[in-house]
Amino acid sequence: MVSVDGFGDFSSAAWGFGQGTRITIDGRVHFPHSLGVFYQAMTQYLGFPHYGDEYKVMGLAPYGEPRYLEKMREVVRLQDDGGFRLDLRYFRHHAEKIDYAWEGGSPHVGQLYSAALEELLGPARHPDEPLSQRHKDIARSTQAMYEEAFFHMLNAVHRHCETDALALAGGCAMNSVANGKVYRHTPFRRVYVQSAAGDAGGAIGAAMAVWHSVCGGQRGFVMEHAYWGPEFADEALGKVLERHAAEVDAAGCQVRRIGDEGELCRLAAQAIASGRVVGWFQGRMEWGPRALGNRSILGDPRRADMKDILNLKIKRRESFRPFAPSILREAVTEWFETEDDVPFMMQVFQIRQEKRVLIPAVTHVDGSGRLQTVHRHTNPRYYRLIETFRDLTGIPILLNTSFNENEPVVCRPEEALDCFLRTRMDVLVMGNWMLTRHGETEGPAS
């Protein structure tokens, strides 16, 4: 097991071995040295100031070349034990008080990098400044340096533990691009990253620790899905629509309750196949930052213009950021260069060369995709929707992005309805209720 984070309990990385109900910690990297701080500082340097913007750097990286990697190796220095050290000349967090505050419901972190970093790499990008090729190359070099340190650590862990199974945790375990390269750069052959790999994942670890120590329980629970959040009965969804009937009517929407699941999936799949953008609000909300088919916005992966459509109608985000493919579990090897099961969308793999032209909306510039495998037994309705789309189009994949518009992912039906009404989403499916802009879909209701 390996944990890589920004900072926690005076260490930013730790590794060890777990067997049965016991875990031994064999090594640590201590504050102020941190891969998480390195990546966050580079994110700020590249003009992405918001907490959590690291995924933007990860999305931008494939558009550049690692031309600054040698300079990055001055910033992050690998150690013989598998760890790393930062050259602290390039950072402020070890010597100065860094502002950390909540602004409008989200955390704000003060500048982590020092003036020396700008002397090394050139001037930092202002958030309003256009992205140049230099910025893209620095993003690629940042990702390459992270991967170099990450795989250096994993290979050292493998030499010590001699197992082919790896569990990853910590906020840096959200780096799905690096996670998808573990098999290429280390001897590990099985990787597990749970859906809330960051700080939130500590909750399940604490619960398991108490169970083992107080109740004497044996290891038995396996987290194979992330659907642990709130859910809402169909009757409650109907009442929400009743309370907001005036707004729904004013938006020119038709509301129907469709009691037959097959018919519901058929109409939704037809809408997606015809180029519509569908909000999909079902069952229990996902635990963790990824929308996994219960609080999702769905689109047709075959359309090369679908990213532009989504950004125009709803997301209003940078054009370089990719959307994810949700795929039927049985179809993975046909479409991706992997056999892995990736239920939590935590790994990026290459899409097979001959398939990329068929699903351009979910194929990144480097031919990769951040796949999510969908199982019939863990999410039967979402599985059935993708299955129905496959029967219509021959493609066992849907484009999946989070149900939101530059805000937290929707949790309650009121939030889903609000997002639908204030954006240009075409269809909303909440439980058995379907809302359509007039003229968008046809079909019988029951």
Share of the chain above pLDDT 90, in %: 80
Together in a domain, 205 and 251: no
For residue 299, the model assigns a pLDDT of 98
- Kindly report the CATH number assigned to the domain that includes residue 207: 3.30.420.40
Q: What is the pLDDT of residue 369?
A: 97
Tell me if 429 is assigned to some domain: yes
The secondary structure element, H or E, covering residue 383 is helix 380-393
Q: Which among 161, 228, 225, 426 is positioned nearest to 309, based on CA atoms?
A: 426
pLDDT for position 217: 63
Contacts of 48 (CB under 8 A, 6+ apart): 54, 56, 57, 127
Residues 288 and 398 in one domain: yes
Amino acid at 384: R
Asked, for residue 219, whether it belongs to a domain, the answer is: no
Considering the domain architecture, whether residues 372 and 403 belong to the same structural domain is answered as yes
pLDDT value at position 106? 74
pLDDT, residue 444, reads: 35
> Residue 374: which domain range?
234-437
CA distance 37 to 39: 6
**Residue 183 shares a structural domain with residue 289:** no
- Name the nearest CA neighbour of 323 among 344, 342, 300: 300
> Could you tell me if 202 and 242 lie in one domain?
no
CA distance 353 to 335: 9
227 in any annotated domain? no
Give the separation between CA 47 and CA 277, rounded to whole angstroms.
30
Sort strands 278-281 and 295-299 into parallel, antiparallel or unpaired. antiparallel
Residue 6 lies in a domain: yes
Residues 180 and 246 in one domain: no
CATH number of domain containing 285:
3.90.870.20
Looking at the fold, whether 155 and 272 belong to one and the same domain comes out as: no
- Tell whether 229 is covered by a domain: no
Q: Burial of 242 by CB count in 10 Å (0-12 exposed, 13-18 middle, 19+ buried)?
A: exposed
Question: How many domains is the chain partitioned into structurally?
Answer: 2
What's this model's pTM, rounded to 2 decimal places? 0.93
Predicted local distance difference test score (pLDDT) of residue 440: 52
pLDDT at 446: 34
pLDDT along the chain (446 residues), means of 10: 86 90 89 96 96 93 98 98 97 90 77 98 97 98 98 95 92 96 96 91 85 75 92 98 97 97 98 97 96 98 93 80 94 97 97 98 96 97 98 98 93 98 96 87 39
Residues 217-240: tens digit of each pLDDT: 666 778 999 999 999 999 999 999
Taking only the tens place, the pLDDT of each residue in 188-217 is: 999 999 999 988 888 888 888 888 888 776
Each residue of 38-81: pLDDT tens digit? 999 999 999 999 888 999 999 999 999 999 999 999 999 999 99
- Is 345 within a domain? yes
Token pair belonging to 274: 């015809």
* 328, 251: one domain: yes
- State whether 300 and 155 are in the same domain: no
Same domain, 208 and 256: no
pLDDT in the model for residue 441: 46
